[in-house]
A and B are shown apart, each in its own frame.
Chain A
Amino acid sequence: MNSKERVITALRGEQPDRVPIVDLVDLPSLVNLATTLRLPIPEPGERFAEQELACRLVLKLGLDGILMPDPLGFREIDEHRVRDRFGSVYNTSPHGDEPLLLEGPIGSLADIEGFDITSALSPEDFDAARLTRDLLGPSYPLMMWLNSPFKLSWRLCGGMQDLLVDYVKRPELVHALARATTDLVVALVEGAAGAGMDVIMLAGDIAGEQAPLFSLRHFREYLRPYYEEIVAAAHAHGLPVIYHSDGNMWPFMEDLIEIGFDGNNPIQPQCMDIAEAKEKLGDRICLVGNIDCRDLLCFGTEEEVDQAVKETIAIAAPRGGYILCSSNSIHPDVRPQNYIAMVRAGQKYGDYSS
């Protein structure tokens, strides 16, 4: 089985030859890992340096794939600020994290009327994906991270807090934002399919560790119908969709399955027990993740990482439907040696024939 077959088989809920290993690795972490592994590092600013580095890492470590970042990206305003192509402005983080939203262009229904969000897309948005396909060849799955309508909506209206207040006070605006951003995501799914992508990761955190950010009633009103459209668009092109949200997602899991998501990520270990997830959900949705990147991969030892991967595989992998992945991403505070230990453990314990 090649990596693409391995990942797709797991996403179908079936058993591949071994547990697939994928992750989202941000640019500073790619550089950290490349330095540790003595891989050549492209010059800073070189076009597609991130994709080249990611592909080198996949090949060097024997990963089954890597998530390609959101294709829309940011444009620099000045040394400290960036903007997205829809008019939202952000402070850049000195720590390499996601930029901090400062303001968005949509404050009322009037602002969104005539707001042609999909016209901001360009065929060049998928150049990085095409390059990755060329570098890795057809035996690897190309997995694309797309921000969900929830995340795109709060970016457009200036902040998550504003959007959550609008959930109660201005339902029409919430629906108008969801409509526009769903049109955008469906267009991105079409673009991704055209560029040869194999898997979509629809991402937008909607839960904290104790509870979801909002009620199941609000999920069903403001998100579910739109998520159904996106999943249907992806499935029409044969692309499986993984839903990503940190936090305690238990109250939403049955709905995510009914919507038709093929996988759920990251099954955050602080609030979702992997054994319970395997028992209650494992035969209906592929579980992707659960290796703790908040404490273990940052502060643990390589032996502790090895043990955690061994235990997680023993629980989550039987009969298939599990992809080894961190509990969010490989971020700059993850020790490179620990990520390498995680991958090596996945390869050691993930063989279904042994």
Chain B
Amino acid sequence: MSVDNKLTDIASGVEAGDDESVVRLVQEALAEGMSAATILNEGLVAGMSSLGELFGAGEVFLPEVLVAAEALNAAVALLEPHLLADGVAAKGRVVIGTVAGDVHSIGKNLVVLLLRGNGFEVHDLGVDISAAEFVAAVRDNGADILAMSALLSTTTPEFSTVIGGLDSAGLRECVKVLVGGAPVTPVLAEKLGADGYAEDCVAAVAEAARLIGAKEEK
């Protein structure tokens, strides 16, 4: 099988959520000497991106995205030692959680799966996370991005509390803040002083990549 065919099959396997075939194909590709970075970017991430487009267009739904993300993560776990050995660094370090008073997790979990699948190092704090917990996690992990989610209008003010906490701790300049969730709009994100906003889990990955780019330029 040609390199291109192998990568196409890996991408199709991710799109179909077929974790067994994706893992097998990735093992074969590694054994054939393909680089882990090529498998990740041109196979796994390419498949997830195609599915992301279908999700954005309303042609596939959460079940299909969840199983694809599981397949992606199973394959990334296989690639990680190779990426490390090849000196391929994580694309960025992300601390993520749902804000205090909010226990909604599914959207945040999808962002975690997709960020990991796209080569980010992710520290998932869970749900109902206080400002102090976010600030401590940003400091302790040296996060490039703090990603926060809220599903209730009444919990979105927590974004400001956390951003204020980063300011007080002298960390605001070191970390980019990305927000999302049903009641969050670009206007609200800007008003709160966030650096980025994502409408859904697929957009969150692209926005995280943009923020890392902006951080490196600085």
B residues less than 8 Å from A95 (CB atoms): 101
> Which of B17, B58, B62, B106 is packed against the most chain A CB atoms within 10 Å?
B62
User: Is there an interface contact between B182 and A208, defined as CB atoms closer than 8 Å?
Assistant: yes
Q: Which residues, 228 to 262 on A, are CB-close (under 8 Å) to B?
A: none
Which of chain A's residues have a CB closer than 8 A to the CB of B63?
Answer: 164-165, 167-168, 213-215, 218
Q: How far is the CA of A164 from the CA of B154 in the complex (A)?
A: 27
Nearest chain-A residue to B200 (Cβ)?
A210
Range of interface residues on chain A? 20 to 34
User: In the complex, A209 Cα to B200 Cα: how many Å?
Assistant: 11
Please indicate the chain B residues that have their CB under 8 angstroms from the CB of A168 in the complex. Answer: 17, 63-64, 66-67
A195 interfacial by beta-carbon distance below 8 Å? no
Q: Is there a chain B Cβ closer than 8 Å to A41's Cβ?
A: no
Residue of A93, A161, A299 with most partner-chain B CB within 10 A: A161
Most buried by B among A95, A212, A213, A299: A95
B5 at interface by CB-CB < 8 Å: no
Separation of A341 and B106 alpha carbons in the complex (Å): 35
B residues 76-127 near A (Cβ < 8 Å) are 101, 103, 105-106, 109, 127
- Interface contact A169-B61, CB-CB below 8 Å: no
Q: Is the CB of A169 within 8 A of B153?
A: no
Q: Is A298 an interface residue (CB 8 A)?
A: yes
Q: Are B61 and A218 within 8 A (Cβ)?
A: yes
Contact A213 B62 (CB under 8 A): yes
Q: How far is the CA of A161 from the CA of B62 in the complex (A)?
A: 9
Q: Are B64 and A100 closer than 8 Å at their CB atoms?
A: no
Residues of B within 8 A of A215 (CB): 60-61, 63
* B67–A160 CB distance below 8 A: no
- Check B61 against A211 for contact (C-beta < 8 Å): yes
**A161–B66 touching, CB < 8 Å:** yes
Q: What residues of B have a CB within 8 angstroms of the CB of A351 in the complex?
A: none
In the complex, what's the smallest C-beta–C-beta distance from B209 to chain A, in angstroms?
A: 22
0/1 interface trace, chain A 149-189, chain B, CB 8 Å (1 if under): 00000000000110011011100000000000000000000
A283 interfacial contact with B, CB 8 Å: no
Assess whether A209 is in contact with B182, with CB atoms less than 8 Å apart.
yes
Point out the residues of chain A lying under 8 angstroms from B142, CB to CB.
Answer: none
Q: How far is A333 from B152 in the complex, measured between Cα atoms in Å?
A: 10
Residue A97, interface by CB 8 Å: yes
Q: Out of A214, A294, A298, which one reaches B62, CB within 8 Å?
A: A214
Q: Does A116 contact B (CB under 8 A)?
A: no
CA of A167 to CA of B153 in the docked complex: distance in angstroms?
30
Query: Bound complex: CA of A295 vs CA of B184, how far in Å?
Result: 12
Residue of B nearest to A216 (CB): B61
Q: Tell yes or no: B193 within 8 A of A by CB.
A: no
Within the complex, the shortest CB–CB distance from B159 to chain A, in Å, comes to 16
Q: A100-B127, A209-B182, A214-B61 are in contact. Are A299 and B153 (CB under 8 A)?
A: yes
B57: nearest residue on chain A (CB-CB)? A211
- CB-nearest residue of chain B relative to A218? B63
Residue contact A169 to B103, C-beta cutoff 8 Å: no
Residue B170, interface by CB 8 Å: no
Within 8 Å by CB of A169, from B67, B101, B106, lies B67
B106, closest chain A residue (CB):
A161
The answer for the CA separation of A327 and B106 in the assembled complex, in Å, is 21
Query: Which residue from chain B places its CB closest to the CB of A209 in the assembled complex?
Result: B182
Are the CB atoms of B66 and A295 closer together than 8 Å?
no
B154 touches A298 (CB 8 A): yes
> Interface code A280-316, partner B: CB below 8 Å = 1, 0 otherwise?
0000000000000011001100000000000000000
The distance in angstroms between the C-alpha atoms of A298 and B153, with both chains bound, is 9
> Min CB distance, B101 to chain A, in Å?
5
Task: Find chain B residues with CB under 8 A from A97 CB.
Answer: 103
Q: Is the CB of A160 within 8 A of B106?
A: yes
B213 cross-chain contacts in A, Cβ below 8 A? none
A295 near B182: Cβ-Cβ < 8 Å: no
Interface string of B171-187 (1 = CB under 8 A from A): 00000000000110000
- Whether B183 pairs with A294 at a CB distance below 8 angstroms is yes
- Alpha-carbon gap, A165 to B127, bound state (A): 20
Q: Which residues of A contact B133 (CB under 8 A)?
A: none
Whether A164 and B153, one on each chain, are in contact in the complex, defined by CB atoms closer than 8 angstroms, is no
Chain B residues near A161 (CB, 8 Å)? 66, 105-106, 109
Mark contacts of B144-165 with chain A using CB atoms, 8 A cut-off: 1 yes-contact digit, 0 otherwise.
0000000011100000000000
Cα A210 to Cα B59 with chains together (Å): 12
3 A-B pairs with least C-beta separation: A333-B154, A167-B63, A100-B103
List 5 extra interface pairs beyond A164-B63, A168-B66, CB under 8 A. A161-B66, A168-B17, A294-B153, A333-B153, A333-B154
Interface residues in chain A, defined as those with a beta carbon under 8 Å from any beta carbon in chain B: 91, 93, 95, 97, 100, 160-161, 164-165, 167-169, 208-215, 218, 270, 294-295, 298-299, 333
| Contacts A/B (CB < 8 Å), 26 sampled | A95-B101, A100-B127, A100-B128, A160-B106, A161-B66, A161-B105, A161-B109, A164-B66, A165-B63, A165-B66, A165-B67, A165-B70, A168-B63, A168-B64, A168-B66, A210-B199, A210-B200, A212-B61, A213-B61, A213-B63, A215-B60, A215-B63, A294-B153, A298-B154, A333-B152, A333-B154
